[in-house]
Structure 1
Amino acid sequence: MATFALVDCNNFYASCERLFRPNLKNQPVVVLSNNDGCVIARSQEAKAVGIAMGAPLFKIRTLVEEHGVAVCSSNYALYGDISERVMTMLGSNAPSHEVYSIDECFLDLDNLGVPDLTAWCSSLRQRTYQWTGIPVSIGIGGTKTLAKLANRLAKKSAKAGGVIDLAHHPEWIDTALRKTPIGDVWGVGRRWSQMLEERGMVTAHDFAHAQDGWIRQKMGVVGLRTAHELRGYICHALEDQPQPKQTTCCSRSFGATITDKSQVHDAVMQFAERAAEKVRSADQVAGAMQIFIRTDPFNANAPQKSLSGSANFPQPTSDARAITGTATRILERIWRAGYAWKKAGILLLDLSAKGSAPPSLFDAIASPDDGLMTAMDQINAKYGRGSVKLGLAGKDRDWSMRRENLSPSFTTKWADLVSVRVG
C-alpha cells in the first residue's frame, strides 16, 4: 500500500507578506494581480469580511476601508524564494518528493518507519512553521487524489489540527468523499463539474461510484483515472523528476495603454530577454518563437486589435541576442499603428535539451558560444536579476506594471534586508 502526503501552504502569498511584517498578523491581507488589478490571494481574515477571489480592487474599496485591509502588490521574487526554502525543508524530511506548484508539495511516505504518521506530519507541520514562518496543512492518502482531498478537509476542520490521514483510516474515506463537492476534486475542472452536477453527481462520492464506461465516454481516460484514484487505485505516481517543458512564456499587461512603437519594442525586448533566461536556466534551447500584442478588451470605447507572428531559428538557441533579434523582426512585420496596446508577450517553442538537436554544417559559424550569456547569468545570479542586460530597451518605461503597494524583497535584495536596532 502506497502512502502519499500533500503539503499545502496556507494562504501562501498572504503568509509571505506577513513573514517580515508582524503588524499584519490578525489583520485582513489581500494580494493583487499584475498592475494591481484583481485579488489573487487572501488571508483568512480577508475571506471572513467577504472579499472574493478575483474581485477587482476598485469594487472592494469600501470593504478595504471599513475593515482596515492591507493591500499588497504581488511580489513574485519574495514568494519564489520563500517557496524554495519551504520545498527544500520538506524534501529533506521525506524519501522523495514532488514540487507540484509554488505552494504545494507531494511527499512519498512509504517505508518512512514511523509508528504514527499523523503525529509525524504534525511535527513536520510545526517544524516547517518554525523554520520558514509559513503555516501548512497536510493531507495523507493512498493516492495523490485522496491526499489532495484530505488536505482540503484538513484546512477546513478545526479539530484536525492541520493534518488528516485517510491512508490509515479507510473508514473515514466514505465520509470525506460525501463532504467534498465535485468541483473541488483534483482533476475535475469547471466544465466537467458543471456537466456532472447536471447529471446529479454533486459530490466526490457520487462520481467515485459512477460506472466506468460512462465516465470513459464522457470524460475520457483522464476522468476515469480520477475516479479510480478516488477509489484508492494509484494512477498518478510521484514525479520526483519534473518533465522538461515544451514551451516557455513571458508576458505582461502594461501599466497603461501605449501607442508608441518604441515603448512596445522596449517591452518586447525585455520579455524576450527574460524568456531566454528561463530557457537557459533549464539547460534547454528553443527552435521557434512567437510574439503577440493586443489591445485592452475591456475598453469598449477603443478600437480592438490582436496581432501575433512567429519564426523559426536557424539553429535551436537560448542566446538572448538571437532571440531578441528575431523578436524585433517579427514585431516590425506585424506592427500596426493607431491602436492603444495593453499587453505583449513572448512564447518560445519547440524546446529541447541543449546539445540534443543534430548539428548543422554551419553551427559553429552561425552560433559561436563566446560565453557572454553564461557571464550575464552568473552576474545576475549574484547581484540580482536585471543587473546586466543587453541594453536594447530604453529607460523611459511608460509600459511598466503598476505596483503601488509592493513590499520589499526581504530575502533577495541586500537593500531590502530587515534591519534591527539593539538598545
Structure 2
Amino acid sequence: MSQIFALVDCNNFYASCEKLFAPQLKNVPVLVLSNNDGCVVARSREAKALGIKMGVPVFKVKPLIARHKIQVFSSNYPLYADMSSRVMRTLEALAPRVEVYSIDEAFLDLSGLEKLFDLESFGKQVKAKVDKDTGIQVCVGIAPTKTLAKLANHGAKQYPATGGVVDLTARVRQEKLMAITPVEEVWGVGRQLTKRLNAMGITTALDLAQIDPQQIRNQFSIVLERTVHELNGIACLELEEVPAKRKQIISSRSFGQVVTEIDGMRQAIAQHAARAAEKLRAEDQQAKVLTVFIQTNRFKTNQPSYSNSATGQLSDPSNDSRVLTRLAMRLLESIWRDGYRYNKGGVILADFYDQNASQPSLFEDMTKKYRSKKLMAAVDQINESGLGTVTLASQGNCNTNTWAMKREHLSPAYTTRWNDLPKVK
C-alpha cells in the first residue's frame, strides 16, 4: 500500500497564541521576543508584511515598532505548550496515526484514506476543525513522502489561492510546485548546502529531484540522497509516533542581569537543576551524571573572562529534585570564582535509566526511594495544576531574583493559571 502523509503546520504559532486571547489585536502587527527579550522569534502576518526579519535584534526595529504601533510580547512558553497540546489532541482525533514533529507541526498518516474520500477535502476539514476547536489557523500539505508534504505545506503558506491546503499526490503537481520553489526551501537543505548546490547549477527543488542520487551521495551525504528519493515520491522517512527518548537534558538561560555573588548563582543553578529534574520525571527517566557550567559574556572583551564546568556522578540514578540540586550545589562550589560578572549558568543531566526498569544497588533504601517518588509526583501535580507552585528553598524567590530571565512584555498564562483566566466584563 502506498504511503500518504499530511503535514499540519500552525501559522505564525507564537504570535497566533498571543492574538487568540486578545481580540483587539486582530489585524495588528505582533512580535514575540526570545529569552531576555533580545531578538524577534515570531512575527504575525502583519509584522512580516512590514519587512521585519526573523532573528533580528529588537533594538534594531524599535523605530518600526513605534511607527506602526507593533505589539511586542515576551515568550510565554506555558501558553504556547498548552495551545500546542490542544492542537495535537485535535489532530489525533482526526487521523489514525500522528507524529508530533515540533511544538507547531505534526505529520498525519493518511495511507489508505484516499480510497474513502478526496484528500484535499479532508485537508480542509482538518484546517476547519483545528480552527473551531482551538482558534489556531493551520496549513496542510499532503504528499506521498514527508519531504514532499513539507514542500506542499510551504506552497499552502506561500500561495493564498490554495486556501491553505495543497495536495501533491499527483506527480504533475509535484513537479509544477518544485519548479517554482528555491532549493533552500527543501526540508533539510540549509544555507551552506544551498551555496554548494547553487554552484552546481541546482537552484530549484526540481533541479535537485532530477539529479542522480548516487552523485549526490558521493558529493554530499546519504541524508541528501534520501532527500532526492523523497522528492521523487520514494518514502525514506517513516512516521515516528513515539519520540525517541533524550540522551541528555540541558536547563540553561542567559541571566536578566549579570550575577556577581555566589548566592545569586546558587539560586540560579538550583532553579535549573529542579527544572531539569522535572523534565526527567516527565519522561520516566532517572539520571546518574550531572554537569554544572557557568560563564561570563565572551562578547564583553573589556571585562575579565571566565568559564568553567564540573561533572559529578550519583551512586544510584535519581530524578529527585533534592538529590540533583544537592549535587549541583557541590559542583558549583568547586568552580565558582569571585570577581567576575557571570551572564549564564546551567545544568546538564546525562547517563539516563528507565525509572521503572533500573537495577537498584545492593544497599539502596527502597523505602526512601518510594517516598521520593511519591513526593516528586505530588510536587509535579501541584505545579501543573496552576493553583500554586512548590519549589526548593535553595531556588529562592523566582519572582524577585535579579538573575531571572528578562520578560518585560509577558502576557498572562490564559490557559494554565486560574488567576490569568480571561475576564468578561
Aligned to 2:213: 212
Structure 1 regions of 5+ residues with no counterpart?
Answer: none
Aligned to 2:339: 338
Counterpart residue identity of residue 120, structure 2: T
Give 1:218 deviation, angstroms.
3.0
Q: Counterparts of 1:419 and 1:366 in 2: how far apart (Å)?
A: 47
Task: Give runs of aligned pairs for residues 13-162 of structure 1, distance below 5 A.
Answer: 13-112=14-113, 113-162=115-164
Q: Deviations over 1:253-275 (max 9, x none)?
A: 11011111110110000010010
Aligned to 1:419: 423
Give 1:367 deviation, angstroms.
5.8
Normalized against structure 2, the TM-score is what?
A: 0.95
Aligned to 1:176: 177
The range that moved more, 274-283 or 303-312, is 303-312
Aligned to 1:237: 238
Q: Is the 8 A contact 2:266 2:394 kept in 1?
A: no
Equivalent position SS for 1:302: coil
Aligned to 2:380: 377
Q: Does 1:356 align with 2:360?
A: no
Equivalent position SS for 1:316: strand
Task: Give runs of aligned pairs for residues 230-379 of structure 1, distance below 5 A.
Answer: 230-364=231-365, 368-370=369-371, 371-379=374-382
Counterpart residue identity of residue 313, structure 2: N
Equivalent position SS for 2:290: strand
Structure 2 regions of 5+ residues with no counterpart?
Answer: none
Find runs of 4+ consecutive structure 1 residues off by over 3 angstroms: none
Distance 1:99 1:315, change over 3 A: same
Give 1:17 deviation, angstroms.
0.3
Task: Give runs of aligned pairs for residues 366-405 of structure 1, distance below 5 A.
Answer: 368-370=369-371, 371-383=374-386, 387-395=389-397, 396-405=400-409
Q: Counterparts of 2:270 and 2:184 in 1: how far apart (Å)?
A: 40
How large is the RMSD of aligned CA atoms in angstroms? 1.5
Q: Is the 8 A contact 1:288 1:313 kept in 2?
A: yes
Q: Is the 8 A contact 2:284 2:356 kept in 1?
A: no
Q: Deviations over 1:116-150 (max 9, x none)?
A: 11111112201211111100000001000100000
Q: Is the 8 A contact 1:246 1:352 kept in 2?
A: no
Q: Counterparts of 1:110 and 1:282 in 2: how far apart (Å)?
A: 30
Q: Is the 8 A contact 1:139 1:150 kept in 2?
A: yes
Q: Counterparts of 2:364 and 2:199 in 1: how far apart (Å)?
A: 58
Give 1:211 deviation, angstroms.
2.2
Counterpart residue identity of residue 416, structure 2: T
Q: Counterparts of 1:381 and 1:28 in 2: how far apart (Å)?
A: 32
Give 1:354 deviation, angstroms.
1.2
Q: Is the 8 A contact 1:6 1:148 kept in 2?
A: yes
Normalized against structure 1, the TM-score is what?
A: 0.96
Distance 1:59 1:368, change over 3 A: same
Q: Is the 8 A contact 2:256 2:403 kept in 1?
A: yes
Q: Counterparts of 1:194 and 1:304 in 2: how far apart (Å)?
A: 36
Q: Deviations over 1:63-100 (max 9, x none)?
A: 00111111111100000000000010011100110000
Q: Counterparts of 1:114 and 1:311 in 2: how far apart (Å)?
A: 57
Percentage of identical aligned residues: 47
Q: Counterparts of 1:184 and 1:309 in 2: how far apart (Å)?
A: 41
Counterpart residue identity of residue 361, structure 2: S
Q: Counterparts of 2:182 and 2:331 in 1: how far apart (Å)?
A: 47
Give 1:401 deviation, angstroms.
1.2
Q: Is the 8 A contact 1:73 1:406 kept in 2?
A: yes
Q: Counterparts of 1:134 and 1:175 in 2: how far apart (Å)?
A: 29
Q: Deviations over 1:339-367 (max 9, x none)?
A: 11111111111223113333321222696
Give 1:209 deviation, angstroms.
2.1
Give 1:394 deviation, angstroms.
2.4
Equivalent position SS for 1:368: helix
Equivalent position SS for 1:351: strand
Give 1:208 deviation, angstroms.
1.8
Q: Counterparts of 1:221 and 1:308 in 2: how far apart (Å)?
A: 36
Q: Counterparts of 1:87 and 1:387 in 2: how far apart (Å)?
A: 26
Q: Is the 8 A contact 2:385 2:416 kept in 1?
A: no
Q: Counterparts of 1:306 and 1:178 in 2: how far apart (Å)?
A: 49
Counterpart residue identity of residue 206, structure 2: H
